[in-house]
Amino acid sequence: MGAWSGFGITFRTMFRKTFTQGYPEKGKEKVMAPRFHGRHQLNRWPDGLEKCVGCELCAWACPADAIYVEGGANTEDERYSPGERYGRVYQINYLRCILCGMCIEACPTRALTMTNDFKMADTSREKLIWTKAELLAPLVAGMEQPPHPRRLGDSEKDYFLGLPATGKPDTRTAGTKEGH
């Protein structure tokens, strides 16, 4: 009896439509869950500076050794991030990446996040090694292409503890929870 029930499940699913039928026509694309782990993105501050400070924690946390980061020093004449350092070279090898999200958990500045984009297939192995230019979030209105001086405050503390003005610093102390 067990073999027949297994065949019944197989028979029912053989004729079910999949989300790939009719793809890539518009309106037929699969909507992914909000927490889906897709393509990576390097984020920016509202003034356009990069959030990545070149600490390499994402590379150390990656179990597949898919991330390569080289840090560089910021100067007053050439500033790419609000901190002392920035990610001068940043690469993710999607041939190795298992899209686990360990790298985004390790990032102390939330510079690296994962989008819902799952379309990463390409025609050669070289094109699957994404560089910093491909991973950086696009500039939007109000942002300026780095390098440029800090616009959101005089120090990196201004960036990390409350700016832009809509944010507020975390004033809770260890061992306490709001609302309890």
Q: Which residues are annotated as a binding site for [4Fe-4S] cluster?
A: 52, 55, 58, 62, 97, 100, 103, 107
Closest CA to 95 of 129, 133, 140: 129
Query: Which residue is associated with the tokens 């610093």?
Result: 169
What residues are designated binding site? 52, 55, 58, 62, 97, 100, 103, 107
Which two structure tokens, joined as six digits, stand for 9? 């499940």
What is the secondary structure of 2-64 as a DSSP string? HHHHHHHHHHHHHTPPPTTTTTTSTT-PPPPPTT---SEEE-B-TTS-BS-----HHHHH-TT
* Helices then strands, each counted (H, E), the chain: 5, 5
